[in-house]
Amino acid sequence: MSKAMIVSAQPEASEAGARVLMKGGNAVDAGVAAALVQGVVDPQMCGIAGFGSAQLRKTDGEAHCIDFHGKTPLMATPDMWQDRLEGETRDGFGFVLKDNVNDLGYGAVTTPGSLKAYFEAVRDFGSWDWADICAPAVAQAEAGFRVRPHVHYWWTHGADLGRVEVAERLAFSKTGREVYFGANGLPKKIGELVENPDLAQSLRMIQRDGADVFYRGEIAEQIEADMIAQGGLVRKADLEAYETTRTTPLEGSYRGFDIHACQPPGGGIMLVEMLNILEQFDLAGMGHNTTDYIRTVSEAMKAATADKDAHVGDPAFVEVAAHLTDKGYALEVANRIKGGERMRVTRLPQGEPPHTTHVAVVDGDGMAFTMTHSLGMPSGVISDGLGFMYNGCMGVFDPRPGRAGSIAPGKSRFSSVCPTIVTRDGELRVVIGAPGGTQIAMGVLQALLNVMDFDMSMPDAVSAPRFSSTSDAIDVTNRVPGYVTEPLVAEGYEVIRSALSFGIAAVHGIRVDGGKPTGGADPGHDGVALGV
């Protein structure tokens, strides 16, 4: 039986982390090594110019969260795009503006936090030298990577809900056109080699000089020069001013389990609210994914989504309503649902996609690390000579001033990322998280319910069919039977069936029983769980 476990959405990343664990590195060492490799082999899902949230639990139970959401450039103003608003995505995780100025190109970029968080996690909680942790990513970038099925799927099918097509993002920069396209002008096919020597060079500099080269040194100067030349807002002053946010986890409970989630602007607050509501129902008695189960869980999802839209933002700018995690409030919502009330989620007339990734690790000493990191909907921008794509996080800010999610200099956006650790009686039980944009909290919720209410193994918990309701509609994957959803339609619910067998986030997690970890990688992605 394995004593340590790593699971991620990319086999190359899982292997890199497993090798670190085999050589005595701890969970943070392995997780960050894997994350850096993820930025090489899944370069639109994540990277050093992205954002995210991480949580770790030391062997003595001490817990830490590192929030590294992207921050609006200091030159931004609340009203700079208010006259460009055309609509909102149906899932509620982004706004559609005229000419896609918030979605594609230099205007979409926020000040990135990923690299700083990786570096600080290793510095403060790791056991290896930074250069050694960077080595697998440098080697991978020098060798290139083969296009995997999920990478190719995203390149060719990734845009939806009013967003710019992915191929347009890939082709936005000179580097993108050279690196990601074949001689026929189409994105490279499954199995074809992607080589990006500029990225390898940037990673070598970071390996040698640490995060400072990106935030204060040579790379920062190149970033600023390109942004000025192309009309972007990010400056070296933004990079120099960037700081991660350290917190303790947001605490919740569910049927005797203790939930440790990330603080706002991450999605942990939605996860805790939904669990509080659902604790008032006998979900196991309803049966897994029955009509009653889907109706009940969907109403909890809608309630949390509406509350998030109204009350949740960057706590440095917005007072987050404390009642959202209160058990008494959850009981009130549950009673409304039991009484037949349907929760409502208000959207603008026009309809974050799943462009994120995750890594979860438990080492042989019981230290746990879980991190969700992303580019959001990637901007398409790659500065000449640097090789990495920047995040596109401005797309989620509300262009209307005076709202929880409105633009403000130095402000972080809400995201649904919710790397989560579950304990029971002080013992580690679950380490989990997911990519999937606005669906992340919904996917993590269902996988946790699968473990806590239905005692599923982690492979089964992350593989079971999922559904979501982040609008007034209920989205279901294609393995949810029609005879389950037909009664919902008869009751007046709008049910939207995906053609995909898997979806609604891509959950990756580790279950620990008696100190023994078992991992599950969502089969809808290319990932793998490796025990060492």
DSSP per residue, 131-191: HHHHHHHHHHHHH-EEPPHHHHHHHHH---TTPPPHHHHHTSSHHHHHHHB-TTSSBPPTT
Per-residue pLDDT, 219: 98
Per-residue pLDDT, 376: 87
Domain assignment of residue 190, yes or no: yes
**CA neighbor of 282 nearest in space, from 251, 255, 252:** 255
* DSSP symbols for 246-304: EEPPEEEEETTEEEEEPPTTSTHHHHHHHHHHHTTS-HHHH-TT-HHHHHHHHHHHHHH
Domain assignment of residue 502, yes or no: no
Domain assignment of residue 82, yes or no: yes
Q: Are strands 95-97 and 85-88 parallel, antiparallel or unpaired?
A: antiparallel
For the chain, percent of residues with pLDDT exceeding 70: 96
Rounded CA-CA distance 308/268 in Å is: 11
Q: Is the pLDDT of residue 92 over 90?
A: no
Per-residue pLDDT, 399: 93
- The per-residue pLDDT for range 199-223, each reduced to its tens digit, is 999 999 999 999 999 999 999 999 9
The residues that are catalytic are 356
Per-residue pLDDT, 162: 56
Per-residue pLDDT, 429: 98
Q: How many CA within 13 A on the CB side of residue 419?
A: 29
- The per-residue pLDDT for range 440-471, each reduced to its tens digit, is 999 999 999 999 999 999 999 999 999 999 99
Domain assignment of residue 188, yes or no: yes
- The per-residue pLDDT for range 113-136, each reduced to its tens digit, is 999 999 999 999 999 999 999 999
Q: Is the pLDDT of residue 89 over 80?
A: no
Per-residue pLDDT, 352: 43
Rounded CA-CA distance 261/269 in Å is: 8
Question: What are the structure tokens assigned to 518, written together?
Answer: 């078992």
Q: How confident is the model at residue 1 (pLDDT cuts 50, 70, 90)?
A: low
Report how many domains make up the chain.
1
Q: Is the pLDDT of residue 53 over 70?
A: yes
Amino acid occupying residue 125: F
Report the Cα 472 to chain-centroid distance in Å: 23
Per-residue pLDDT, 160: 56
Per-residue pLDDT, 349: 41
> How open is the CA angle 426-432-435, to the nearest 5 degrees?
160
| Mean pLDDT calculated for residue range 471-489 | 97
| Mean pLDDT calculated for residue range 506-525 | 96
- The per-residue pLDDT for range 271-308, each reduced to its tens digit, is 999 999 999 999 999 999 999 999 999 999 999 999 99
Domain assignment of residue 264, yes or no: no
- The per-residue pLDDT for range 368-417, each reduced to its tens digit, is 999 999 998 899 999 999 999 999 999 889 999 998 889 999 999 888 89
Rounded CA-CA distance 4/20 in Å is: 11
Domain assignment of residue 391, yes or no: yes
* DSSP symbols for 388-444: PBPP-GGGGSBSSTTSTTB--TTPBPP-----EEEEETTEEEEEEE---GGGHHHHH
Domain assignment of residue 252, yes or no: no
The Cα diameter of the chain in Å comes to 62
Domain ranges, residue 208: 8-52+70-242+377-396
**CA neighbor of 353 nearest in space, from 435, 417, 271:** 435
Most confident stretch, 47-56, 162-171, 400-409: 47-56
Cis peptide preceding 265, ω within 30 of 0: yes
Rounded CA-CA distance 441/443 in Å is: 6
Q: How confident is the model at residue 335 (pLDDT cuts 50, 70, 90)?
A: very high
Per-residue pLDDT, 327: 98
- The per-residue pLDDT for range 168-181, each reduced to its tens digit, is 999 999 999 999 99
Per-residue pLDDT, 414: 83
Domain assignment of residue 134, yes or no: yes
User: What is the per-residue burial (b if ≥16 Cβ within 10 Å, else e) of 310-327?
Assistant: ebbbbbebbebeeebbee
**CA neighbor of 317 nearest in space, from 418, 417, 408, 415:** 408
